[in-house]
């Protein structure tokens, strides 16, 4: 690669950076995607693969709207990637359920869903609370501990690794430049004029997008931005392949296109540690899965891992543009699979145009500024 001047530089080759890079390149912008090497924390390679809408945005209806918008972009994104790259990202969006074990969980879930609908206003929010007897017809094999489920038509799942591969292949197929083992070492910011040093080389562009996951916390201040993200560890269990019997994903258990069951929606504050897993959490996850579907107890676990979510203090995404250095943007979220459609199809065109749309102003990190909040 000899080129050093680009229309845009995206820092971070995870799901967020790759989706935005893909979208920018599709807009006709010559884009450089800089990525660290294998030492990097990469939520994008350790996640659960849900395109999940139903519990997003309680108390923050703008987040529900953005998430739903992204789920709506997903069929087009998956088809676009398949056509351009031949990679099938195994998207399925048949709706999804959250299990309730016991009356108390069912009542609490019903209250949450009712509030989601109320907060959605005219935008609407379709859901049903379904008792176990009826849920059994939807999801055969449900155990007696299940009181019922919440259901929405918006949810789905995909293969996150095929998605990441598809976005990278799509990006490069469109002429994008990907540079791995290229952690940013130096940067110089001026309005619409950025110089970034990585892998011992200097690159220039009038636009830069910080999409480095947890790395954004350190990068953002260099560009007059703020990204107070911290790690939240999640653990995942994978079973051997089973008969294809789960017709839709649930928030804590889904069946992959290949037949394995993935189990997991744990959340822990464990700092930057992804090397260890906690048997107590793994046991609790497996136990809940067996209570939901007793037949799962017969399956062998074949893999388990932990990975770090990228969390803002309120759990919502951060999308920002620098007031001091126009042309610099941040993008962080804890649902990079779900939001891939919005990142590629909606956010990237905003970056290309040079400014975020007003609908994203509530996602600015200025919401964490005490003076702004006051």
Ligand X SMILES: Cc1cc2nc3c(=O)[nH]c(=O)nc-3n(C[C@H](O)[C@H](O)[C@H](O)COP(=O)(O)OP(=O)(O)OC[C@H]3O[C@@H](n4cnc5c(N)ncnc54)[C@H](O)[C@@H]3O)c2cc1C
Structure tokens, 240: 């051997």
The phi-psi region of residue 121 (left if phi > 0; otherwise alpha if psi is between -120 and 50; otherwise beta) is left
In DSSP notation, 269-326 reads: --TT--S---HHHHHHHHHHHHHH-GGGGGSPEEEEEEEEEEE-TTSS-EEEE-SSST
150 in Cβ contact with 110 (< 8 Å): yes
Q: How far is the CB of 179 from ligand X (least distance, A)?
A: 9
Q: How far is the CB of 30 from ligand X (least distance, A)?
A: 19
Query: By CB under 6 A, is residue 106 in contact with ligand X?
Result: no
Q: Containing H/E element for 108?
A: helix 103-120
Q: How far is the CB of 103 from ligand X (least distance, A)?
A: 28
Instruction: Give the interface segment with ligand X, choosing from 5-13, 71-79, 111-119, 120-128 (CB under 6 A).
Output: 5-13
Query: By CB under 6 A, is residue 342 in contact with ligand X?
Result: no
> Where do we find the tokens 């996150």?
160
Q: How far is the CB of 191 from ligand X (least distance, A)?
A: 22
Of the CA atoms within 13 Å of residue 48, those in its CB half-sphere come to: 27
Residues 177-216 that bind ligand X (CB under 6 A): 183-184, 211-213, 215
Site string for ligand X, 279-318 (x = CB under 6 A): ----------------------------xxxx--------
DSSP state of 345: I
Q: How far is the CB of 39 from ligand X (least distance, A)?
A: 8
Q: How far is the CB of 12 from ligand X (least distance, A)?
A: 3
Closer by beta carbon to ligand X, 91 or else 334? 334
> Where do we find the tokens 């051997």?
240
Integer distance in angstroms from the first to the last C-alpha of the chain? 49
Q: How far is the CB of 199 from ligand X (least distance, A)?
A: 10
Cβ count near 106 (within 10 Å): 21
Instruction: Give the interface segment with ligand X, choosing from 10-18, 64-72, 76-84, 128-136 (CB under 6 A).
Output: 10-18
Residues 220-239 that bind ligand X (CB under 6 A): 234, 236
In DSSP notation, 111-123 reads: HHHHHHHHHHGGG
Query: By CB under 6 A, is residue 33 in contact with ligand X?
Result: no
Q: How many residues bind ligand X (CB under 6 A)?
A: 40
Gap between the Cα atoms of 281 and 302, Å rounded: 17
> Where do we find the tokens 């884009």?
31
Closer by beta carbon to ligand X, 333 or else 360? 333
Gap between the Cα atoms of 45 and 243, Å rounded: 25
Gap between the Cα atoms of 205 and 203, Å rounded: 7
Closer by beta carbon to ligand X, 40 or else 352? 40
Query: By CB under 6 A, is residue 6 in contact with ligand X?
Result: no
Q: How far is the CB of 180 from ligand X (least distance, A)?
A: 8
Query: By CB under 6 A, is residue 47 in contact with ligand X?
Result: yes
Instruction: Give the interface segment with ligand X, choosing from 34-42, 115-123, 135-143, 237-245 (CB under 6 A).
Output: 34-42
Query: By CB under 6 A, is residue 52 in contact with ligand X?
Result: yes
Judged by the rule CB under 6 A, the positions of this chain that interact with ligand X are 11-17, 34-36, 40-44, 46-50, 52, 183-184, 211-213, 215, 219, 234, 236, 307-310, 333-338
């Amino acid at each position: 690669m000899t080129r050093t001047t680009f229309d845009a530089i995206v820092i971070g080759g995870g799901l967020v950076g790759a989706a935005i890079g893909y979208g920018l390149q599709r807009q006709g912008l010559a884009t450089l995607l800089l990525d660290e090497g294998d030492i990097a924390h990469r939520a994008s390679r350790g996640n659960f693969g849900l395109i999940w809408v139903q519990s997003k945005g309680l108390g923050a209806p703008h987040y529900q709207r953005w998430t739903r918008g992204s789920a709506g972009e997903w069929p087009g994104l998956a088809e676009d990637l398949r056509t351009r790259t031949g990679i099938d990202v195994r998207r399925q969006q048949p709706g999804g359920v959250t299990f309730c074990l016991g009356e108390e969980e069912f009542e609490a879930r019903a209250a949450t869903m009712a509030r989601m609908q109320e907060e959605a206003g005219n935008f609407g929010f379709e859901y049903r609370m379904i008792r176990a007897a009826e849920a059994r017809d939807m999801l055969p094999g449900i155990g007696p501990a299940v009181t019922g489920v919440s259901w929405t038509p918006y949810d789905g799942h995909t293969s996150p690794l095929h998605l990441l591969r598809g976005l990278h292949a799509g990006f490069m197929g469109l002429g994008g430049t990907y540079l791995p083992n290229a952690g940013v070492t130096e940067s110089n910011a001026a309005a619409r004029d950025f110089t970034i040093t990585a892998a011992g080389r200097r690159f220039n562009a009038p636009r830069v997008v910080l999409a480095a996951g947890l790395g954004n916390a350190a990068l953002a201040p260099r560009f007059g931005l703020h990204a107070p993200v911290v790690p939240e560890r999640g653990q995942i269990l994978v079973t051997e392949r089973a008969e294809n019997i789960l017709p839709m994903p649930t928030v804590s258990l889904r069946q992959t296109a290949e037949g394995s069951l993935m189990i997991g929606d744990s959340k822990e504050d464990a700092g930057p540690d992804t090397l260890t897993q906690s048997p107590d959490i793994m046991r609790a996850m497996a136990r809940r899965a067996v209570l939901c579907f007793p037949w799962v107890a017969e399956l062998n676990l074949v893999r388990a891992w932990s990975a770090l979510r990228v969390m803002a203090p309120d759990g919502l995404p951060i999308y920002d543009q620098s007031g001091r250095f126009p042309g610099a943007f941040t993008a962080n979220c804890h649902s990079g699979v779900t939001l891939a459609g919005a990142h590629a199809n909606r956010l990237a065109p905003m970056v290309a145009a040079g400014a975020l749309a007003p609908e994203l102003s509530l996602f600015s990190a200025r919401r964490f500024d005490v003076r702004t909040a006051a």
